[in-house]
């Protein structure tokens, strides 16, 4: 499974990139606004920090403007993946950009039916939002299971399942068990994956025993 981080905070991205665990980055208008910085400057900097795809989202809702925005974003760096909403205009834009060799991330997916359309449109990634479905009393992970199974039924589909709106490590583990290709994760949730009380307890015991030996490695 690949890990993308869902943020526009370049310091967080730099820190995580240094671990070797980061495969890409996703951003959205809300995250860019939170950064308080110029949109294009942020995207360019992020693209320089990671080798993998960096999702940059269009702001338009009509096809013609969305397509032009997508072309402009794709020109910012070789590893930009243009993010478009799962609307009819977004799918049409996805199809045109994909034909031109641009990676497209179709976002705001909330059903397996929508995911089928994104794959048909040639999306490189589909972003199903599990947390937001959980928020309204539905089981977001059921959607992931359905999408993974449907895509597996049709080898011609090359779209990767990029699980989004992740709220906790359990979402990540369940996504991996279901065979999802990517999880895009807030930095704090990604850092939670490394934590376990027994790891802390075991390390403390090892260090205490080592201290008793009076030896040093360096």
DSSP string, 145-206: HHHHHHHHH-TT---EEEEBS--SHHHHHHHHHHT-SEEEE-HHHHHHTT--HHHHHHHHHH
Find residue 183's DSSP bridge partners: 3, 163
> What does R_g of the chain's alpha carbons equal in angstroms?
20
Catalytic residue among 34, 44, 83, 201: 83
Neighbours of 30 (CB within 10 A): 9
Q: Has 201 been annotated as catalytic?
A: no
Cβ–Cβ under 8 Å, residues 148 and 180: yes
Cβ–Cβ under 8 Å, residues 164 and 132: no
Please choose, from the candidates 65, 101, 63, 99, the residue with its C-alpha nearest in 3D space to the C-alpha of residue 81. Answer: 101
Measured distance CA(59)–CA(107) in Å, rounded = 13
Helices (H), 50-154: 63-74, 88-99, 112-120, 130-135, 140-153
- Look at residue 133 and give its three-state secondary structure: helix
Catalytic residues: 83
């Amino acid at each position: 499974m690949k890990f993308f981080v869902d943020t526009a905070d370049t310091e967080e991205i730099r820190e995580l990139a240094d671990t070797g665990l980061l495969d890409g980055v996703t951003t959205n208008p809300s995250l860019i606004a939170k950064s308080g910085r110029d949109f294009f400057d942020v995207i360019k900097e992020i693209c320089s920090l990671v080798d993998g795809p960096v999702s940059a989202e269009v702001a338009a809702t009509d096809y013609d403007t969305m397509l032009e925005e997508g072309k402009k974003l794709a020109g910012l760096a070789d590893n930009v993946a243009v993010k478009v909403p799962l609307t009819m205009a977004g799918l049409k834009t996805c199809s045109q950009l994909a034909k031109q060799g641009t990676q497209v991330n179709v976002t705001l997916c909330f059903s397996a039916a929508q995911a089928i359309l994104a794959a048909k449109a040639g999306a490189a990634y589909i972003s199903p939002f599990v947390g937001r479905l959980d928020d309204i009393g539905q089981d977001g992970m059921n959607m992931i299971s359905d999408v993974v199974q449907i895509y597996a039924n049709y080898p011609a589909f090359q779209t990767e399942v990029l699980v989004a709106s992740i709220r906790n490590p359990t979402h990540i583990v369940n996504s991996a068990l279901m065979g999802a290709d990517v999880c895009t994760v807030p930095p704090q949730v990604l850092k939670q994956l490394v934590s376990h009380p027994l790891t802390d307890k075991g390390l403390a015991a090892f260090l205490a025993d080592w201290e008793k030996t009076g030896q040093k490695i360096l």
